[in-house]
Amino acid sequence: MYWLNPRNWFRRAHPLIVENRRYFSSFSRYIRLADCSFVAFDTELTGLDRRKDEIISIGAVRITNLQIDLGDTFYQVVRPKALARTGSTVIHRLAPGELSMAPAFEAVLPDFLRFIGTSLIVGHHIDLDMHFLNRATWDHLGGVLANPGIDTMRLAQGYSRWHQSYLFQQSTMESYRLADLSRRFGLPSYSSHNAFEDAVQSACLFLLLIKKLRAGGIEDLNDLYKIGYSR
């Protein structure tokens, strides 16, 4: 992985990283879903090059007692190091002028890690977001996060295989894009390519899938990991 640079192996990790890894070193998978705290998050990027591109906005919402808490959210636009790589403005609707006035990600990162805390992380195609987040935590804080991640895309694919859902059987387009899954399940529609709204959309999809899976006997994290575990 990009962030595993040998030059950084002997740096002292930030206390937030040390505490994060200490907590999850003894974390048990056998915990009821209703007793878990989750954070659904999403990022917007300058592009998809995992070595060169950067996060330009990050949004998150907390899920407690299997309910979205819209009173406990996080959203921040951040300034990339390479403003010249922000050519996807038409997609994420963040103008170079707005980005140039935003704080650098290293100034925002500690607050975001405090927001996540010891929650499990939820996202759609979460491996991509976690790559860029962990690259930043390694570069600026000397380590990567140990929070388990649940990928709603993998969860939907697992639900399709496990339940052989009528909705999926009748679909002529087997798309697992967040917007397509939300429409297929009749969920509220949010603006795409906005980090906060995509985080809320992912949280809605996550809770709907959890409700369906719990009806089939999925009750704890160990069961859920078998379907939608990211890492």
Which pLDDT score is estimated for 109? 97
Residue 158 makes CB contacts below 8 A (sequence gap 6+) with 226, 227, 228
* Count of other CB atoms within 10 angstroms of residue 203: 27
Spatial CA neighbour of 75 closest among 48, 47, 108: 108
Amino acid in position 33: L
Cα distance between residue 16 and residue 110, in whole Å:
8
Which pLDDT score is estimated for 86? 53
Q: Tell me: the pLDDT tens digits for 39-62?
A: 999 999 988 888 889 999 999 999
Residue 62 phi/psi, 5-degree rounding, is: -90, 145
Most confident of 8-12, 80-84, 176-180: 176-180
Structural domains of the chain, ranges and CATH numbers in brackets: 15-228 (3.30.420.10)
SS3 121: strand
Average pLDDT over residues 12-16: 92
Average pLDDT over residues 121-130: 96
Q: Tell me: the pLDDT tens digits for 191-210?
A: 778 999 999 999 999 999 99
Spatial CA neighbour of 87 closest among 74, 76, 78, 99: 99
